Amino acid sequence: MSKILLLSATFVEHEQTFLYDNEIHIIGIGKVNAAVETARLINLYKPDVVVNFGREKKITIYQHSADPINKDLSIEELQKYPSDLLLHLATYYNPKPINRAEEELIEKSNFHFPKSLCNILKNVGLKRIISSSSYLQLPDLKQKSLYSETKNKFVSWANSEFEVTEVFLFDTFGKNDQRSKVLDVFIKNSIANRDIQIPSISVDINLTHVEEVADSLISSIGLTPNQYMIMSNNHITIRELAESIISIEKTSTKIKATMKGNNLLNKINSFPENIYINSLKKNFYEQIKNQYYEIKKTYSI
């Protein structure tokens, strides 16, 4: 049987990466974003066929021995790539919807879309799901948003239909990440000598490089269905993070503690088993410096 690597975009987000091989369907990236780098996975799995899932239900099939083929996505096409395992990373993150339309989009993206996809894949052999969740789903219910509720709603439904492994992720960073995440925002402010705004109270953050997230997720394939988390040793306060970034080039950036804050990590009563893999073997300051200079190459003030 040919080895197959499937790449895709998420349901509603900008272009992101999906991984499939001939035994695994992987959809979306969402929070992980650049965690699964296409080139690295092609090198890892050495596929004979690469299938790219594009927008508007279109797919492109790449092969060594033929020109690319463009097709409409259909159940008949999925039947050509049977799998018993789905690695589900797709998400639509909006913690504070401002109207009913945004609320419906969250519900549609985080519950109805994966549910309908899983029901389709069930017809071609799907039995197991590895689903990523946010650490924001770990605190007590009173701390949860509609985003967390819809993610939990899908996992609850999936548990009634499949064997489910749920993996909780914390904040991530890495090369080619296009999100406005805290580390990259602080780095860009430091490069531009702009002030960094932080909460007026002490807020903890846990940051994991996307390559280590990817390696940890791949390791989860062989785990017994249960709840797990990927939490690195990079546990730091927001202020300490800002200070570390400013110290790299000793810029004139000032830290202004003017924002409201909520230390959610301190509100988590219990944590699942940690499956973090320290594959980079670099200390956190080295990782921050690498990210700093990577952004500086292309960032225009």
The answer on pLDDT for 297 being more than 80 is: yes
Tokens found for residue 271? 């944590």
Q: Tokens 């092609």 correspond to what residue? A: 42
Residues 122, 129: Cα–Cα separation, whole Å: 11
The answer on pLDDT for 188 being more than 60 is: yes
Tell me the average pLDDT of the chain: 80
Dump pLDDT digits (tens) for 190-236: 999 999 999 999 999 999 998 899 889 888 888 999 999 999 999 99
| Between 60 and 40, residue with greater pLDDT | 60
Q: For residue 258, give the DSSP letter.
A: E
Residues 66, 288: Cα–Cα separation, whole Å: 42
Kindly report which listed range (41-55, 89-103, 180-194) carries the lowest average pLDDT score.
Answer: 41-55
Q: For residue 224, give the DSSP letter.
A: P
Assess contact for 31 and 210: CB atoms under 8 A. no
* Nearest C-alpha neighbor of 186 from the set 94, 93, 295: 295
The pTM (predicted TM-score) of the whole model is 0.77
- Give, for 8, the enclosing helix (H) or strand (E): strand 4-8
Residues 254, 168: Cα–Cα separation, whole Å: 33
Kindly report which listed range (13-27, 65-79, 160-174, 259-273) carries the lowest average pLDDT score.
Answer: 13-27
Kindly report which listed range (93-107, 131-145, 277-291) carries the lowest average pLDDT score.
Answer: 131-145
pLDDT-based confidence at 36, cuts 50/70/90?
very low
Between the alpha carbon of residue 238 and those of residues 135, 242, 255, 266, 298, the distances in Å are 17, 6, 10, 14, 25
| Between 243 and 5, residue with greater pLDDT | 243
| Between 114 and 2, residue with greater pLDDT | 114
Tokens found for residue 139? 């605190």
Domains in the chain, please, with CATH? 4-169 (3.40.50.720)
pLDDT-based confidence at 277, cuts 50/70/90?
very high
Kindly report which listed range (11-15, 87-91, 123-127) carries the lowest average pLDDT score.
Answer: 11-15
Assess contact for 16 and 157: CB atoms under 8 A. no
Q: 72-91 burial string, b = 16+ CB within 10 Å, else e?
A: eeeeeebeebebebbbbbbb
Tokens found for residue 213? 């997230």
- Quote the pLDDT of residue 196: 97
Instruction: Tell me what the mean pLDDT of segment 77-90 comes to.
Output: 77
pLDDT-based confidence at 179, cuts 50/70/90?
confident
CB atoms within 10 A of CB 136: 20
By DSSP bridging, strand 85-88 and strand 24-27 are parallel
Kindly report which listed range (32-41, 81-90, 272-281) carries the lowest average pLDDT score.
Answer: 32-41
Q: Tokens 């039947």 correspond to what residue? A: 79
Kindly report which listed range (28-42, 85-99, 247-261) carries the lowest average pLDDT score.
Answer: 28-42
- Quote the pLDDT of residue 98: 93
Dump pLDDT digits (tens) for 12-35: 333 333 333 433 334 344 444 433
The answer on pLDDT for 112 being more than 70 is: yes
